Amino acid sequence: MQGTIDLAGDSHLRAARDQAQSIPLADFDVGNPELFKTDTFWPYFDRLRREEPVHYCKESMFGPYWSVTKYNDIMDIETNHAVFSSAASLGGITIRDVAPDLRRESFIAMDQPRHSAQRKTVAPMFTPTHLDQLATNIRKRSAECLDNLPVNEVFDWVDQVSIELTTQMLAVLFDFPWEERRKLTRWSDVATTIPGPGGLVATEEERQAELLECATYFARLWKERINQPPKSDLLSMMAHGEATRDMDPKNFLGNLILLIVGGNDTTRNTLSGSVYALNKNPDQYRKLRDNPDLIDSFVPEVIRWQTPLAHMRRTALEDIEFRGRQIRKGDKVVMWYVSGNRDEDVIDRPYEFIIDRARPRTHLSFGFGIHRCVGIRLAELQLKIIWEEILKRYDNIEVVGEPKRVYSSFVKGYETLPVRIAA
């Protein structure tokens, strides 16, 4: 079936499809994190793409917002940055507005010309030459992590592999004290969590207290780096960069969190998603095992399939008509990558996981336009090396239970994924 989720065997999805078909479009609230926690958002987006691709939700836990659900429409919003702003002062880049007193600027939540100037400061980290230098380190760490995995017993892939390897990578990028690297994981999780009972943090105050701890810790490292000659870590680059060395403390913390979350959650959830996707599609797993050269197209395919950031948001700077709908100045416009990546008008058999697609890089997972992810090459390199090392060692990473998913309509990922490696 093209462009509609295949429901065979998934009863929770069947119920969601009935629900998505029966309720009026006016009542749709696709940003509800519960739909993502239960993985039941798919049929809602299927219907929106078909019947009302640019949709207005009048009321939600995040206030009113527009949803843009088709691939090419998302590209149009992304490239019209003169009208659709990313500015933190207007609420930022996620469906959830950041409260005015908590707003921190980072270059992802900034418009031109300051955005480009700050982005340029960290860009040298991601050049092919620098990535070649990092590759040896990535391979060595991946091999060590994989060699130490338990065999013939169930363990959590998210914690032991995905979090561990992406956290290590981040510690390398920041030249962060190695033994304390899990602090980075914690700060990344806290930065994106929605506070609530039973959650990672119970209240917004707790969340802010932990982020302040992050800022204080990094401020100390910053002082060390600024008094040393420039080096090739991200902190040193910002401490010595012309556009960033005089940042105010809020902009400093904003950029830190951007780089921590950008480099952590996304690759982590794609790595967990890659094991899950191959288990759901054993024929593709076999294909990959038989021909490891397919890793080059498997990696972008899994990034599309997973779409680890479900959306990015913009705010309209003026009234504008878009696809026949009247968007008003100040309206929140959410670009649903997760839906664009299943748009059958652009992607052939979009619900299928096909590791040797003809054009695997046709996807929106990295965004588009001036804010397109700066870490693309690094993300792909990490996933490629890790999978090269996995295939050398283990025939089958078997998923033995359903994953526990994150309660968020922004970070689309996994809290746990139980697996077993057979001897």
Among 43, 262, 273, 350, binds ligand HEM (CB under 6 A): 262
Among 43, 53, 254, 308, binds ligand HEM (CB under 6 A): 308
Closest alpha carbon to 93 in 73, 119, 111: 111
Q: Counting contacts by CB under 6 A, is residue 267 touching ligand HEM? A: yes
To ligand HEM, the closest distance from the beta carbon of 1 in angstroms equals 26
Q: What is the DSSP string of 361-390?
A: T---TT--GGGS-TTHHHHHHHHHHHHHHH
Q: What is the DSSP string of 316-374?
A: ESS-EEETTEEEPTT-EEEEEHHHHTT-TTTSSSTTS--TT-SSTT---TT--GGGS-T
Q: Pick the piece of the chain touching ligand HEM (CB under 6 A) from 53-61, 261-269, 394-402, 403-411.
A: 261-269
Among 236, 266, 284, 409, binds ligand HEM (CB under 6 A): 266
To ligand HEM, the closest distance from the beta carbon of 85 in angstroms equals 12
Which CB, 201 or 237, lies closer to ligand HEM?
A: 237
Contacts of 8 (CB under 8 A, 6+ apart): none
Closest alpha carbon to 290 in 359, 391, 394: 391
Q: Counting contacts by CB under 6 A, is residue 365 touching ligand HEM? A: yes
Instruction: Round to whole Å and give the CA distance between 62 and 60.
Output: 5
> How is residue 311 written in tokens?
């959306």
Q: Pick the piece of the chain touching ligand HEM (CB under 6 A) from 14-22, 259-267, 275-283, 408-416.
A: 259-267
Q: Counting contacts by CB under 6 A, is residue 108 touching ligand HEM? A: yes
For residue 42, what are the CA distances in angstroms to 7, 13, 74, 186? 10, 8, 17, 29
Among 13, 134, 374, 417, binds ligand HEM (CB under 6 A): 374
To ligand HEM, the closest distance from the beta carbon of 11 in angstroms equals 30
398 backbone dihedrals φ, ψ, rounded to 5°? -95, 125
To ligand HEM, the closest distance from the beta carbon of 340 in angstroms equals 11
To ligand HEM, the closest distance from the beta carbon of 203 in angstroms equals 28
Report the DSSP pairing between strands 332-336 and 311-316: antiparallel
Contacts of 246 (CB under 8 A, 6+ apart): none
Instruction: Round to whole Å and give the CA distance between 418 and 276.
Output: 10
Site for ligand HEM in 309-338 (CB under 6 A): 309, 312
Q: Counting contacts by CB under 6 A, is residue 367 touching ligand HEM? A: yes
3-state secondary structure of 56: strand
Q: Counting contacts by CB under 6 A, is residue 373 touching ligand HEM? A: yes
Q: Determine the distance from the C-alpha atom of residue 269 to the mean position of all C-alpha atoms in its chain, rounded to a whole number.
A: 7
Q: Counting contacts by CB under 6 A, is residue 254 touching ligand HEM? A: no
Among 371, 397, 409, 419, binds ligand HEM (CB under 6 A): 371
Closest alpha carbon to 307 in 16, 39, 38: 39
Q: Counting contacts by CB under 6 A, is residue 134 touching ligand HEM? A: no
Q: Pick the piece of the chain touching ligand HEM (CB under 6 A) from 127-135, 143-151, 349-357, 363-371.
A: 363-371
337 in Cβ contact with 274 (< 8 Å): no
To ligand HEM, the closest distance from the beta carbon of 121 in angstroms equals 10
Angle at which helices 182-192 and 164-174 pack, to 10 degrees?
Answer: 100
Which CB, 7 or 373, lies closer to ligand HEM?
A: 373
Which CB, 132 or 204, lies closer to ligand HEM?
A: 132
- Binding footprint of ligand HEM, residue count (CB under 6 A): 28
To ligand HEM, the closest distance from the beta carbon of 72 in angstroms equals 15
Which CB, 86 or 284, lies closer to ligand HEM?
A: 86
Instruction: Round to whole Å and give the CA distance between 320 and 305.
Output: 32
Percentage helix, strand, coil for the chain under 3-state DSSP, each rounded to 5: 55, 10, 35
Q: Counting contacts by CB under 6 A, is residue 78 touching ligand HEM? A: yes
Which CB, 221 or 312, lies closer to ligand HEM?
A: 312
Angle at which helices 182-192 and 204-226 pack, to 10 degrees?
Answer: 130
Q: Counting contacts by CB under 6 A, is residue 303 touching ligand HEM? A: yes
142 backbone dihedrals φ, ψ, rounded to 5°? -60, -45
To ligand HEM, the closest distance from the beta carbon of 42 in angstroms equals 19
Q: Counting contacts by CB under 6 A, is residue 258 touching ligand HEM? A: yes
Among 75, 171, 201, 379, binds ligand HEM (CB under 6 A): 379
Residues lying near ligand HEM in the complex (CB under 6 A) are found at 78, 107-108, 119, 173, 258-259, 262-263, 266-267, 270, 303, 308-309, 312, 365-369, 371-375, 378-379
